[in-house]
Amino acid sequence: MKYKKCPRCQLNYIREDWNICSVCQDELDGKKSIFDDDEIWLCPYCNKHELDVDEVMCSYCQAKRNKHLEE
């Protein structure tokens, strides 16, 4: 199997019978790149508040949980 560089990004190697790499294909399809971090995540516990990227639950639920643990 021969490989060539993706003609669009000139970064990724693709099979010779492919037109562009999957990253470019995703981009053309309108999918967001994994490097975009402007997607909004809602807290899965209350489904109300936004989460930061590294948060598992919102600060409200976190506070509630901490309080609960203290009692």
Residues of this chain that interact with Zn ion (CB under 5 A) are 6, 8-9, 12, 21, 24, 43, 45-46, 49, 58, 61
Minimum distance from residue 5 beta carbon to Zn ion (Å): 8
Residue whose CB is less far from Zn ion, 37 or 46: 46
Contact 34, 26 (CB under 8 A): no
The DSSP call for residue 63 is H
Minimum distance from residue 10 beta carbon to Zn ion (Å): 7
Minimum distance from residue 23 beta carbon to Zn ion (Å): 5
Distance CA 55, CA 45 (A): 12
Give the three-class secondary structure for 62.
helix
